[in-house]
Amino acid sequence: MTTVAAQALPTENAVEDALMRSIRIPPRPSLLVDLQRELAQSDPSPRQIARIIASDVGMSGALLKLANSPFFGAARKAKSVEQAINFLGINQCASLLTGLLARQAIDGKESDLTTFWEISSRRAQALVFTSRKLRVAPPDIAHTFGLFCDIGVPLLMDRFADYGDTYQQACNDASGMFTAIEDRRYSTNHAAIGCLLARNWGLSPDVSWAILLHHDYRVLDDDATDDAIRSLVALSLLAEKGIQRLHNEHSSFEWEKGGESACRHLGLTEDETDDLLEELNETFYTER
């Protein structure tokens, strides 16, 4: 464990252990267990994976819609789940399915999470796009991280009535670490909760560590941290900047805190960053 990662982990004590137990972490869906079991085989069967997905009609339709999105660059349109798997590959389809299952597991509470899922979907799309362009992370890992990096937000919203106010304060903090306000109020934060869910769901260790560290931009200059984790954190900043451009938002406190370090880690000049974000925006508009 690196120094930065160790500092990001919650301190273990009785109060915080009790708090963590009071936050409902959805159990790993049985469909995901079946999928991961097949993926763990020495030669996973696309046909068997298609059968698993096809057992849920809604999931099949949602997967096809996502698979035919311009962000995944398929030259042909998939007309069946098995075609989607063949066009995109097993790992990318598994990533898409995992995100859909997360929405099923967490939706249905009193809070309206439509905007949350829209932003998560945009972020995941942007991470797929930039990871392919820069070739710094597998697209399926980037996609999963994009969907799950803020997954702790709705869980804390469900646990604490005042979390919406806390979240807004953190968004408007121009200098402090985003998770610091959460830590002061609740002795935990959405990154730590999201990391816990990712581990419980058997997601990639790179994804769970990147979730934990995605607001701690010190990690971008920490050579002791795996490059794969640092790249995901850097890509998440690019993705957020791209989403803000799409909505004509010109200022970003998170970009001001970590953008320079992210570009340095990814080897991007200012002009190259602008060109990449412009191309990302064009792809967003194509999908609309």
Q: Higher model confidence: residue 64 or residue 259?
A: 259
Mean pLDDT of the chain: 88
Indicate if the pLDDT at residue 12 is higher than 90. no
Q: What is the pTM of this model?
A: 0.88
Q: Cα torsion for 217, 221, 225, 229, to the nearest 10°?
A: 50
**pLDDT for 37:** 94
Say which CATH class 113-287 falls into.
Answer: mainly alpha
For range 164-187, the mean pLDDT: 94
Q: Which of 268, 238, 231, 230 is nearest to 254 (CA)?
A: 238
Indicate if the pLDDT at residue 231 is higher than 80. yes
Q: What's the pLDDT band for 245 if we cut at 50, 70, 90?
A: confident
Domain ranges in the chain?
A: 25-107, 113-287
Q: What's the pLDDT band for 7 if we cut at 50, 70, 90?
A: low
For range 268-280, the mean pLDDT: 95
Q: What's the pLDDT band for 172 if we cut at 50, 70, 90?
A: very high
Q: Which of 14, 15, 40, 17 is nearest to 196 (CA)?
A: 17
For range 41-47, the mean pLDDT: 91
Q: Higher model confidence: residue 19 or residue 231?
A: 231
Task: For CA atoms 242, 244, 249, 254, give the dihedral sign.
Answer: negative
Q: Higher model confidence: residue 190 or residue 110?
A: 190
Least confident of 45-49, 220-224, 229-233: 45-49
Least confident of 103-107, 143-147, 178-182: 103-107
**pLDDT for 263:** 97
In 40-162, which ranges are continuous DSSP H helix?
A: 46-54, 57-67, 81-88, 90-106, 114-134, 139-148, 152-159
In the chain, which ranges are continuous DSSP H helix?
A: 3-8, 14-22, 30-39, 46-54, 57-67, 81-88, 90-106, 114-134, 139-148, 152-159, 163-171, 178-186, 190-200, 205-213, 227-246, 253-266, 270-287
